[in-house]
């Protein structure tokens, strides 16, 4: 068997470059590139191999390890999980900085390959710089932090282990059900060790993402349940986008008269102008969707993991006799909420279910109720989105300005804080993948790094990032990366002077304003951050605007420009769109000296009692 002598790092890089994936009939590289920040644990091994690989596996320099991991997550999401980015760091803080990004990928079922450097396998220079020592286990390193947030974890302690570990990594990264982050902790001495690898390991391999077909008995059970429904509802999750099943689902629900609503991950899968499209569901949902959810007797949940924000902490679907059909490629998710599992690819599962339903159609009264609720919601939403002359507009009013300037193919990116709630219920996406929200892990700091990843995946689309001042201050370094790479994104910073979303939650649960807004925090001086000046210092064009009219003008200028641009506007931390949303379980103290907390606790117990009655 012919062999080639390579270092373990060279072998891994060469094998990565050989992987291809079929997308719309064309072959493209599975790995779009490697984000890298080098240190002593990876510069001599993986660094040398990546430099030699050149454009066969492009390397992108980042400025923060967590941020580059988040950019890789966003790239995978915007690529419908069909392409992957890898990330390498040194041992120590570089590695542990990526753990948050791995958790984001894990929660959202997104493929990323993490390659942190590790300790010396030979243990001669022990402990090495940045090594975390376990007093009772010599096999532990800081990289063991990745174990609970990786779908597959391995530690490469010999050069020949690259082959079985990488094959297993590929299985996870490309499997719709197993899909998620992979961590290969790469001992730094092993990276540089040579081995005679079989040439066959580096032969090009074409991956075709499989479409799992459902079990016929599960189809029969699901069809029987749905055919019995008088008040059905379809909930759309991110799995619909990953399956490219948007058209099939819209056609299915139109033909069957089933109203549709969207989770954060599923938003943009369905055209919200369709008569049966009710928009967002759950805590950040529309009144139209949540009214239908409250009395639904059968819920068809497609490609969603049924998280608490969608289910109103398992209180929203309040009909005690309701049934849930879980159409999901992952059995773990398909069986949630005591549901009937329909384990399959979304497109394949819908086709099978459609064939089994015959001529069944939901009662006409269901569509009539949906239409009435939608009309009322759209009127309410328009009121919140309307222009204002306030010097500190609400998040919704900022969204209204961007929506008036948006085009069909634009992509809007956001993550944690108050903006996701407003965007989920109010934003109307023009095309699939046009709404990119990280809300599975609700990771502050995702936004700008995520915008960079989206732009790498969708270079032909305009990318708008919406971020609050709190998230901006947590993670802004990839503005410099985007500027350096010539990637045009437009970032709108809403300066609420603190963590406004959590301040509102704090007050709603009876608490006093404390440590969230800057004015309620311990301080010896008032600080006003000049976000525009800061953004310019990182290489972006930037402007501070003082009104919604000026914001719209700045958005026009940003679209006409060619560089990264940041637009800053002051916002009102107290305003939010209260209409539409469902209850959310946030535990309120049973005992407090504050009467406001006691009152909030009484309301909380009433809500718990209602949930128990509907369980």
Give the pLDDT confidence of 62-110 residue by residue, as tens digits: 999 999 999 999 999 999 999 999 999 999 999 999 999 999 999 999 9
Q: Encoding tokens for residue 361?
A: 């159609």
Question: What does the pLDDT average to over 545-550?
Answer: 97
Q: 105-151 pLDDT, tens per residue? A: 999 999 999 999 999 999 999 899 999 999 999 999 999 999 999 99
Q: How confident is the model at residue 615 (pLDDT cuts 50, 70, 90)?
A: low
Q: 6-64 pLDDT, tens per residue? A: 999 999 999 999 999 999 999 999 999 999 999 999 999 999 999 999 999 999 999 99
In our burial notation (b when 16+ CB lie closer than 10 A, e otherwise), range 1-16 reads eeeeebbbbbbbbbbb
Mean pLDDT of the chain: 96
- Output the pLDDT for position 585: 95
Q: Are 339 and 326 in contact (CB under 8 A)?
A: yes
- Secondary structure element (H or E) that encloses residue 472, with its range: helix 469-474
Residues 95 and 34: their CA atoms lie apart, in Å, by 15
Residues 558 and 561: their CA atoms lie apart, in Å, by 5
Q: 163-208 pLDDT, tens per residue? A: 999 999 999 999 999 999 999 999 999 999 999 999 999 999 999 9
Which of 325, 322, 290 has the alpha carbon at shortest distance from 578? 290
Position of tokens 């690529």? 79
- Output the pLDDT for position 494: 98
- Output the pLDDT for position 578: 84
- Output the pLDDT for position 524: 85
Beta pairing, strands 3-7 & 59-61:
unpaired
Assess whether pLDDT exceeds 90 at residue 209. Answer: yes
Residues 74 and 32: their CA atoms lie apart, in Å, by 13
Radius of gyration, CA atoms only, the chain: 25
Question: What does the pLDDT average to over 380-399?
Answer: 95
Q: 353-387 pLDDT, tens per residue? A: 999 999 999 999 999 999 999 999 999 999 999 99
Give the architecture (CATH level 2) of 216-376: 3-Layer(aba) Sandwich (3.40)
Q: Encoding tokens for residue 62?
A: 């980042």
Return the higher-pLDDT residue of 401 and 528.
Answer: 401
Distances (CA, A) of 45 to 5, 88, 371, 475: 15, 11, 61, 29
Q: How confident is the model at residue 449 (pLDDT cuts 50, 70, 90)?
A: very high
Question: What does the pLDDT average to over 559-576?
Answer: 96
- Output the pLDDT for position 440: 95
Q: Rounded to the nearest 10 degrees, what angle do helices 478-485 and 65-78 cross at?
A: 60
Please state the three-class secondary structure of 20-43 as a single string.
EEEECCEEEECEEEEEECCCCCCC
Assess whether pLDDT exceeds 90 at residue 612. Answer: no
Q: Are 7 and 192 in contact (CB under 8 A)?
A: yes
Which of 213, 193, 268, 194 has the alpha carbon at shortest distance from 236? 268
CATH of 386-570, one of 3.30.540.10, 1.10.10.60, 3.40.50.300, 3.40.50.970: 3.40.50.970
Residues 503 and 517: their CA atoms lie apart, in Å, by 7
- Assign domain 3-207 to its CATH superfamily: Thiamin diphosphate (ThDP)-binding fold, Pyr/PP domains (3.40.50.970)
Q: Do domains 3-207 and 216-376 have the same CATH topology?
A: yes
Q: How confident is the model at residue 614 (pLDDT cuts 50, 70, 90)?
A: low
Assess whether pLDDT exceeds 80 at residue 547. Answer: yes
Question: What does the pLDDT average to over 283-287?
Answer: 96
Percent residues over pLDDT 90 in the chain: 97
Q: Could you state, in order of their start, the residue ranges of all structural domains in the chain?
A: 3-207, 216-376, 386-570
Percent residues over pLDDT 70 in the chain: 100
């Amino acid at each position: 068997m012919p062999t080639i002598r390579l270092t373990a790092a060279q072998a891994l890089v060469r094998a990565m470059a050989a992987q291809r994936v079929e997308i719309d009939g064309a072959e493209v590289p599975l790995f779009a590139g490697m984000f890298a920040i080098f240190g002593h644990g990876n510069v001599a091994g993986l660094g040398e191999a990546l430099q030699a690989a050149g454009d066969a596996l492009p390397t992108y320099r980042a400025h923060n390890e967590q941020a580059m991991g988040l950019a890789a997550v966003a790239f995978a999401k915007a690529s419908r999980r069909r392409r992957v980015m890898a990330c390498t760091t040194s041992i120590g803080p570089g590695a542990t900085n990526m753990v948050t990004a791995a958790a984001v990928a894990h929660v959202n079922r997104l493929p990323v390959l993490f390659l942190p450097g590790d300790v010396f396998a030979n243990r001669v220079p022990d402990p090495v710089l940045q090594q975390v020592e376990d007093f009772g286990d010599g096999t532990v390193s800081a990289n063991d932090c990745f174990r609970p947030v990786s779908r597959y974890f391995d530690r490469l302690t010999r050069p020949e282990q690259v082959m079985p570990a990488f094959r297993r990594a590929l299985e996870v990264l490309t499997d719709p059900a197993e899909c998620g982050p992979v961590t290969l902790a790469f001992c730094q001495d092993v990276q540089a060790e040579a081995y005679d690898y079989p040439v066959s390991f580096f032969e090009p391999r074409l991956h075709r993402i499989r479409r799992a077909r459902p079990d016929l008995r599960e189809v029969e059970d699901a069809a029987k349940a749905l055919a019995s429904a008088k008040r059905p509802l379809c909930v759309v999750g991110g799995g619909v986008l990953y399956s490219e099943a948007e058209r099939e689902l819209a056609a299915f629900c139109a033909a069957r008269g089933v109203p549709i609503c969207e989770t954060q991950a599923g938003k943009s899968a369905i055209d919200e102008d369709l008569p049966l499209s009710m928009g967002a569901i759950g805590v950040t949902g529309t009144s139209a969707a949540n009214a239908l959810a409250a009395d639904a007797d059968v819920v068809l949940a497609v490609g969603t993991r049924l998280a608490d924000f969608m289910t109103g902490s398992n209180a929203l679907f309040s009909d005690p006799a309701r049934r849930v059909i879980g159409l999901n490629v992952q059995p773990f998710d398909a069986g949630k909420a005591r549901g009937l599992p329909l384990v399959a690819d979304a497109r394949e599962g819908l086709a099978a279910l459609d064939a089994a339903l015959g001529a069944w159609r939901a009662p006409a009264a269901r569509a009539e109720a949906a239409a009435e609720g939608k009309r009322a919601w759209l009127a309410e939403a328009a009121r919140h989105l309307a222009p204002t002359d306030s010097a500190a507009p609400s998040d919704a009013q900022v969204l209204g300005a961007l929506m008036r300037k948006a085009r069909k193919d634009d992509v809007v990116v956001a993550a944690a804080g108050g903006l996701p709630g407003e965007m989920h219920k109010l934003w109307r996406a023009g095309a699939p993948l046009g709404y990119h929200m990280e809300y599975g892990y609700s990771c502050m700091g995702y936004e700008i790094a995520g915008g960079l990843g989206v732009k790498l995946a969708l270079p032909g689309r305009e990318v708008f990032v919406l971020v609050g001042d709190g998230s901006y201050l947590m993670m802004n370094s990839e503005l410099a990366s985007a500027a350096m790479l010539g990637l045009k994104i437009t970032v709108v910073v809403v300066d609420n002077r603190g963590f406004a979303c959590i301040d509102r939650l704090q007050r709603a649960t009876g608490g006093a304003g404390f440590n969230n807004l800057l004015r309620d925090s311990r301080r010896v001086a008032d600080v006003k951050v000049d976000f525009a000046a800061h953004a310019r210092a990182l290489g972006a064009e930037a402007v501070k605007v003082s009104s919604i009219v000026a914001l719209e003008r700045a958005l026009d200028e940003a679209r006409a420009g060619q560089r990264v641009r940041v637009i800053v506007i002051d916002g009102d931390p107290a305003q939010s769109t209260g209409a539409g949303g469902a209850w959310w379980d946030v535990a309120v103290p049973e005992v407090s000296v504050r009467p406001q907390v006691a009152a909030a606790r009484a309301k909380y117990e009433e809500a718990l009692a209602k949930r128990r009655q509907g369980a």
